[in-house]
Amino acid sequence: MRLQALAAALNLPPTDLPDVEAVGVTHNADWAGPGDVFVAIRGARFDGHTFIQKVKESGAVAVLGEGLPDGVASPLPYLCVPDARAALADVAAALEQHPSRALRVVGVTGTDGKTTTAWLTRHLLRAANLNTGLLSTVGYELPDGELRHFPAHFTTPEAPQVQSTLREMVTVGADAVVLEASSHALALDRVRGVDWDVAVWTHLSREHLDFHGTVENYFAEKRKLVERARSAVLNADDPWTAQLTGLAPREITYSAEGNRADWTAHDIQEGANGLSWRVTSPLGDFEVSLPMIGRFNVANALAGMAVAAQLGATAEQLVTGLASFRGVPGRMELLPGDGSVSGSAAPRVIVDFAHTPPSLEKALATLRTTTAGKLWVLIGSAGGPRDPGKRAPLGEVATRLADHAVFTEEDHRDTPLDTILREMERGAREGGRENFTSIPDRAEAIRWIVEKAKSGDTVLLAGKGPEDTLERADETLAWDEVAVARRALAEWQMAARR
Ligand SMILES: CC(=O)N[C@H]1[C@@H](OP(=O)(O)OP(=O)(O)OC[C@H]2O[C@@H](n3ccc(=O)[nH]c3=O)[C@H](O)[C@@H]2O)O[C@H](CO)[C@@H](O)[C@@H]1O[C@H](C)C(=O)N[C@@H](C)C(=O)N[C@H](CCC(=O)O)C(=O)O
Ligand SMILES: Nc1ncnc2c1ncn2[C@@H]1O[C@H](COP(=O)(O)OP(=O)(O)OP(=O)(O)O)[C@@H](O)[C@H]1O
């Protein structure tokens, strides 16, 4: 795109711009290359204007920003825009020729359940013979089903990556794409310029207050997805849904808790390895089974079914699709290999990403139903700028709902780990409970909790899910919770043989 055309696409008044081709756009000076437009963002930590000389040396052709700082001259043509993040998204969408317009785009938002719902939805859309891509916390997939990763870990990456991924989806022939939209993404315009067909709302609870300040601000950001979509799939069990009604031109509701809705679940059966229930829906009444544990996955599946039905899936396709779903890495992931050893089966060990008090509460409540023996939980709370207000509630929930809780590290970064553990212990004690042990080293804590558990018990390792790093004050360790847990289980089995 010529630079003048790009300025016109941003509705900027005509100025004397050189006649050069802009081939890409980026907000990150390290990523700028020949022909790129650099968007200088004034962030919370850096001012992108600091890097103008650097991007010039890398071959960038122009800079977009909200105004040059006093006394700074730009060696590159400078386009002044009212909102740099919005311009980043608009230019990215224009350069990729608005790929979302050629796709059926499903956005999923909510505090918990986004990833699981997005994976379920893409699986059901594929079962309905739609070539479907996915962009989620766990990575992104073209319709070929192979999981790929962005260089940095994001639920929703910055607008240029969102738009180029959507373009790639179009190029390989995708019909539909399911995209997780975090509140950060909505607040920072990462998904501006995406043409949404369906917005899915899971539910809202307290999170990310370090960034949004208040729950109301957090809700206001997430609400944008519903406002921008042609139709909304809303959770009738979430009190916030009342404030979302009427925002999208078309609405479909779902309920797993007996509330009035278009898609409802009845006679829910929770087994040690799966769920089954009866669905009442606009497609009729039918029985389904889903090889996942966690009662909340009934709601996630209903949301996915409602979306897929709207995009053309039949009841038969939904039934076979759900039955063949293979789960999401690190979400209620049941460890294999817990067969019988010398007549005693090893405890059931589950790795799950629950890291908020409400999601931990739901995870423990649902596991209690299918646990014959004791229920154990291991949980930490992140440090750095992450919401410190959730530490004590996590301690309270863990000790109230499990028979024994282990408090441990979880990406404490520059916050002293002791401070976090004491906060979690305070939450437990304020609830009048002492059924916890604090073990700072996470690997040691996992070994300890698995060793203590007996046949018939369930051990929930919560908080890290599939994350591949563990951040400490001065080091970042490679991390694989499932592998650490497997080793602990192998030790349990060896001890059982002795
Ligand atoms: C809180 C938050 O989201 N912050 C985002 C914000 O950071 P910021 O305002 O501090 O930006 P900054 O670091 O001051 O940099 C300003 C500008 O200078 C540029 N820069 C900066 C340094 C440099 O060396 N070179 C350079 O070019 C940056 O690219 C940026 O354009 O803008 C940056 C660039 O646009 C983002 O990378 C950054 O995400 C940070 C890394 C982050 O950790 N975000 C997380 C919390 C996040 O977005 N999480 C959600 C999921 C949440 C959930 O539901 O769990 C997600 O969607 O992943
Ligand atoms: N519908 C739901 N309601 C409440 N908790 C849920 C729901 N679905 C999943 N969870 C719990 O929340 C955890 C995170 O689930 P999931 O990854 O699907 O959510 P998410 O919104 O994508 O979270 P994140 O953005 O932090 O990855 C799960 O491991 C599970 O314990």
Distance CA 62, CA 90 (A): 15
In the prediction, which pLDDT does 73 show? 87
Neighbouring-strand partners of residue 75: none
- Known binding residue 190? Answer is yes
- Whether residue 341 is predicted with pLDDT greater than 60 in this model: the reply is no
- Whether residue 308 is predicted with pLDDT greater than 80 in this model: the reply is yes
- The rounded percent of the chain whose pLDDT value lies above 70 is 97
Distance CA 415, CA 131 (A): 45
Structure confidence at residue 337 as a pLDDT band (50, 70, 90) = low
**Region at 117 (left for phi over 0; alpha for psi -120 to 50; beta for the rest):** alpha
Distance CA 202, CA 233 (A): 9
Other CB atoms within 10 A of residue 494 CB? 10
218 lines ligand 1 (CB under 6 A): no
**Mean pLDDT throughout 25-48?**
96
In the numeric block, which tokens belong to residue 11?
């509705």
**Residue of the nearest CA to atom 2 in ligand 2?**
113
Residue ranges of the chain assigned to CATH 3.90.190.20? 333-497
In the prediction, which pLDDT does 472 show? 94
Homologous superfamily (CATH) for 99-323:
Mur-like, catalytic domain (3.40.1190.10)
Query: H or E stretch including 401?
Result: helix 391-401
From 136, 290, 353, mutation site for ligand 2 pocket: most ligand atoms within 8 A of C-beta: 353
In the prediction, which pLDDT does 344 show? 60
**Mean pLDDT throughout 471-492?**
94
**Residue of 15 and 365 predicted with greater confidence:** 365
Closest to 193 (Cα-Cα) out of 95, 62, 61: 95
Topology (CATH level 3) of domain 3-95: 3.40.1390
In the numeric block, which tokens belong to residue 446?
């996992």
Residue with structure tokens 């766990």? Answer: 138
Sheet bearing 284-290, strands edge to edge: 147-148, 139-141, 132-136, 176-180, 104-109, 198-201, 231-235, 250-255, 263-270, 275-281, 284-290
Closest to 25 (Cα-Cα) out of 33, 17, 36, 35: 36
- Whether residue 339 is predicted with pLDDT greater than 50 in this model: the reply is no
Query: H or E stretch including 109?
Result: strand 104-109
Phi, psi (rounded to 5 degrees) for 266: -135, 160
Distance CA 225, CA 195 (A): 10
Task: List, for residues 461-473, the tens digit of each pLDDT value.
Answer: 999 998 889 999 9
In the chain, the amino acid numbered 383 is G
**Mean pLDDT throughout 62-89?**
94
- Which ligand number lies closest to the CA of residue 460? 2
- Which ligand number lies closest to the CA of residue 60? 1
304 lines ligand 1 (CB under 6 A): no
- Which ligand number lies closest to the CA of residue 58? 1
- Known binding residue 189? Answer is no
Distance CA 55, CA 84 (A): 17
CA angle 102, 103, 108 (to 5 degrees): 145
Distance 114 CA to ligand 2 centre (A): 6
In the prediction, which pLDDT does 207 show? 67
Among the atoms of ligand 1, which is closest to the Cα of residue 39? 31
In the prediction, which pLDDT does 338 show? 47
44 lines ligand 1 (CB under 6 A): yes
Task: List, for residues 237-288, the tens digit of each pLDDT value.
Answer: 999 999 999 999 999 999 999 999 999 999 999 988 899 999 999 999 999 9
Enumerate residues lining ligand 2, CB below 6 A.
110, 112-116, 137, 155, 202-203, 296, 299-300, 331-332, 352-354, 359, 362-363, 465
Helix (H, G, I), strand (E, B) or coil at 389: helix
Neighbouring-strand partners of residue 418: none
- Known binding residue 58? Answer is no
**Residue of the nearest CA to atom 13 in ligand 2?**
354
Distance 210 CA to ligand 1 centre (A): 14
Residue with structure tokens 């100025």? Answer: 15
Residue ranges of the chain assigned to CATH 3.40.1390.10? 3-95
**Residue of the nearest CA to atom 42 in ligand 1?**
154
In the prediction, which pLDDT does 384 show? 79
**Residue of the nearest CA to atom 22 in ligand 1?**
46
DSSP result, 235-280: ETTSGGGGGTTTSSSEEEEEESSS---SEEEEEEEE-SS-EEEEEE
- Known binding residue 156? Answer is yes
Predicted ipTM beyond 0.90:
yes
Say if residues 92 and 25 touch (Cβ distance below 8 Å).
yes
From 112, 206, 325, mutation site for ligand 2 pocket: most ligand atoms within 8 A of C-beta: 112
In the prediction, which pLDDT does 16 show? 81
- Whether residue 182 is predicted with pLDDT greater than 50 in this model: the reply is yes
Neighbouring-strand partners of residue 312: none
- Known binding residue 110? Answer is yes
CATH match of 333-497 with 3.90.190.20: yes
Q: What sign results for the dihedral spanned by CA atoms 135, 141, 147, 151?
A: negative
Structure confidence at residue 342 as a pLDDT band (50, 70, 90) = very low
Q: What is the mean pLDDT of the chain?
A: 93
Say if residues 309 and 317 touch (Cβ distance below 8 Å).
no
Distance CA 470, CA 131 (A): 35
Residue ranges of the chain assigned to CATH 3.40.1190.10? 99-323
- Whether residue 12 is predicted with pLDDT greater than 60 in this model: the reply is yes
